[in-house]
A and B are shown apart, each in its own frame.
Chain A
Amino acid sequence: MSGGPAPGGTPQVKSLNCPKCGATLTLRSFTNAVTIVCSSCHSILDAQDPRLRILQTFKAATDEDPPLIPLGARGTIRGTVYEVVGFQRRTIHVDGMPYSWHEYVLFNPFKGFRYLTEYNGHWNDISILRSVPIWSPGASSLNYLGETYQHFQTAQASTSFVLGEFPWQVRVGETAEVSDYVSPPRVISAERTGKEITWSMGEYMAGRDLWKAFKLSGDPPVPIGVYENQPSPMSAAVKNVWWMAAAGLVLLVVLMMVFFSTARDEQVFSQSYEFNTNVKTEASFVTDTFELKGHTSDVELTTTSQLDNKWIYLNYALINQDTGHAYDFGREVSYYHGYDEDGFWSEGSQTDSVTIPSVPPGNYYLRVEPESDFYRGTIYYTITLRRDVPQASFFGLGALALLIPAALVTWRSMNFEHLRWAESDYGSSDNDSDDSEDDDDPQRPVQLGIADDGDER
């Protein structure tokens, strides 16, 4: 038998025997333990009584709910060595379905008690609050140290399984009303038993960090679903990605101003023609040669005609006189209008423009072949060519492309928050109305409250 704190705050143990079954009990938290549970016969004993008075006996298989972090395991949390001294399972019922989570009682002789909770692979490091938050009963939020916590859920939690030592009079079947207020990655829990309220704060922890701290073998359970105070992996990214999108848009505008101010946008050809539809002869012709200067860039061809309930189709070929390289395209100009039972109508336009992409410099001419209905008189039209005309379309597409990541990240973040709050007291009505869906949901977040009126840390 040994007792008392060891140098450096390393936990020590003390051995006792269960008064009911005689099994050896290991007392790790000494006089700090209020109750101790025999792991053999599941008797809850009064640790403050030298004779270890039996307070309660509950039925449970020895391996009914083995702790993921075994009793007696030691690990360093926030620079302090803690030993796991107690373990309990607590349960809430929502729509008749039980949802259980696990709580681990940690002890250090100098720092006192600390707690860990685990639900579906989500872990929280819990400590009892030293001061009461600014809060009023039934409020949808509370304030603690200047930070606002939103109410998430209130439910009756009952203790359904216990092992080890506890700094309070633990009982299987004891109940408490637990309310959780979240501000990820933290959660504040108010645990009401009678007129007494215990406030605790939890901070979300990664299972792998605990496995490392306690030097546990294997891997921690993979977290399932989104937990009530789980920090969103996207929350920081949302702000960053929008800042980056904004910076990109500013650069895009600068780029646009540069291109629009430096583009040649030069008229290189303009000529008016007439097309007599009453004469059935070869209509095609070629224009004079004109020079396209500068680097490879676009050419904008505009066809204008004062059409009136007529159409003209022009087969164009922009041909490089030296290389024989031709750009073939056809354009229609048509304009119709009139009156019907709905009043005036019109369709088409008397002007048409097209951009011919990436035309190298050189000497060019146009081959033009007009078409229209026969015997519609003479159609007058003008062809104008401009070189190196800035195009706004690519800047528009660029702006959209820059906004896509920001939109995606925002959507993911909103989806994460939707999943978080879907299982709260404020979840969507879809979940409330679909009982069967709720009943099968293994991911429902549950309260993190500690059934403790014990040590503050």
Chain B
Amino acid sequence: MIKNMLLLYGIAVLATVAVAEYRGWSLNRVDEVLNVPKSVRDNPGSYRSVYGFYHHYTGGK
């Protein structure tokens, strides 16, 4: 019983790793935005990233 459960668990782990690798999963979080207008190519300033409003300076010590 335990052996079968461990076997299933091991298969699940390997399958998950394989799928993650094949599909290119990542531990990074990236925001996705749908339907970005094609006009962005002509006017890049019309698109603002969700990160664009933060103050980004982290500076040296």
Interface of A toward B, CB cutoff 8 Å: 237, 240-241, 244-245, 247-248, 251-252, 255, 259, 282, 284-286, 295-299, 309, 311, 313, 315-317, 319, 321, 324-330, 332, 334, 336-338, 345, 347-348, 354-359, 365, 367, 369, 371, 373, 388, 390-391, 393-395, 397-398, 401-402, 405
Contact = CB atoms under 8 A, between A and B. Distances in A.
Contact of A347 (B7, B28, B30, B61): B61
A297 B23 contact: yes
A405 B6 contact: yes
A220 B13 CA distance: 41
Contacts of A316: 49
Nearest 6 interchain pairs by C-beta: A336-B60, A298-B24, A297-B24, A357-B26, A330-B51, A313-B56
Given A259-B21, A315-B49, A391 B26 contact: yes
13 contacts: A241-B6, A251-B14, A255-B18, A259-B18, A282-B44, A285-B44, A298-B25, A311-B56, A317-B49, A330-B54, A358-B24, A358-B26, A398-B17
A279 to B, nearest CB: 14
A337 B50 CA distance: 31
A225 B14 CA distance: 38
B14 to A, nearest CB: 6
Contact of A358 (B14, B18, B25, B40): B25
A248 B9 CA distance: 10
A402 B33 contact: no
B33 A355 contact: no
Given A286-B40, A369-B44, A398-B13, A357 B6 contact: no
Nearest to A322: B38
A327 B36 CA distance: 10
Of the four ranges (under 10, 10 to 19, 20 to 34, 35 or more), the interface on chain B belongs to 35 or more
Most buried by A among B21, B28, B41, B58: B21
A338 B9 CA distance: 51
Contact of B32 (A315, A326, A330, A369): A326
Nearest to A309: B60
Contacts of A373: 57
A330 B44 contact: no
A327 B31 contact: yes
A357 B56 contact: no
Given A286-B41, A334-B59, 12 more contacts: A244-B6, A245-B10, A330-B49, A332-B58, A338-B60, A338-B61, A358-B23, A367-B40, A369-B44, A391-B21, A391-B26, A398-B16
Nearest to A387: B24
Nearest to B35: A324
A356 B36 contact: no
B44 to A, nearest CB: 4
Contacts of A319: 36, 40
Contacts of B49: 315-317, 328-330, 367, 369
Contacts of A326: 32-34, 36
Contact of A356 (B3, B28, B33): B28
A345 B61 CA distance: 9
Given A255-B17, A298-B24, A334 B6 contact: no
A248 B52 contact: no
Most buried by A among B7, B10, B24, B37: B24
A429 to B, nearest CB: 34
B8 to A, nearest CB: 11
Nearest to A334: B58
A455 B7 CA distance: 49
A330 B56 contact: yes
A247 to B, nearest CB: 8
A27 B2 CA distance: 49
A286 B54 CA distance: 21
Contacts of B24: 296-299, 355, 357-359, 388, 391
